[in-house]
């Protein structure tokens, strides 16, 4: 059965800290891994990772995939209060219908 597990489930840090969020997965047929950020509304797309070891970067956010370890990390450096959100990791399921399997999410709170 396809499975996506994120850790930690929640995290509280102070502005300026660096955080690392984890995503582990079990899927029969890996195609890609996606990271989303969800604030008050629906999730916004951050990254799609398909190849191991290649870092994707967008400003203070970066992510990398490790297919050997069946995992990915999302790093946020110099955190700001605006980074407070739920971060979701998702993978297309093995059924190849395009359906995404989501992790439980990591709730990040950045305090001033």
Partner 1 sequence: GAVVSQHPSRVICKSGTSVKIECRSLDFQATTMFWYRQFPKKSLMLMATSNEGSKATYEQGVEKDKFLINHASLTLSTLTVTSAHPEDSSFYICSAGLANNEQFFGPGTRLTVL
Cβ closest to partner 1, residue 64 vs residue 87: 87
Instruction: Report 28-67 residues binding partner 1 (CB under 8 A).
Output: 31-32, 34, 36, 41-45, 48
**How far apart, in whole angstroms, are the C-alpha atoms of residue 112 and residue 109?**
10
Cβ closest to partner 1, residue 79 vs residue 106: 106
Shortest gap between Cβ of 26 and partner 1 (angstroms)? 17
The position carrying tokens 């110099």 is 78
Residue 88 interacts with partner 1 (CB under 8 A)? yes
List the structure tokens of 10.
């929640």
- Residues near partner 1 (CB under 8 A): 31-32, 34, 36, 41-45, 48, 88, 90, 92, 97-100, 102-105, 107
């Amino acid at each position: 059965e396809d499975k996506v597990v994120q850790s930690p489930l929640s995290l509280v840090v102070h502005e300026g800290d660096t955080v690392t969020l984890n995503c582990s997965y079990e899927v029969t047929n890996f195609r890609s891994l996606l990271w989303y950020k969800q604030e008050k509304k629906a999730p916004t797309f951050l990254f799609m990772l398909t190849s191991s070891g290649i870092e994707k970067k967008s400003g203070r956010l970066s992510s990398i995939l490790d297919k050997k370890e069946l995992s990915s990390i999302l790093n946020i450096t110099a955190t700001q209060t605006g980074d407070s959100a739920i971060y979701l990791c998702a993978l297309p399921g093995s059924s190849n219908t395009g359906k995404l399997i989501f992790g439980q999410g990591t709730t990040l709170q950045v305090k001033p």
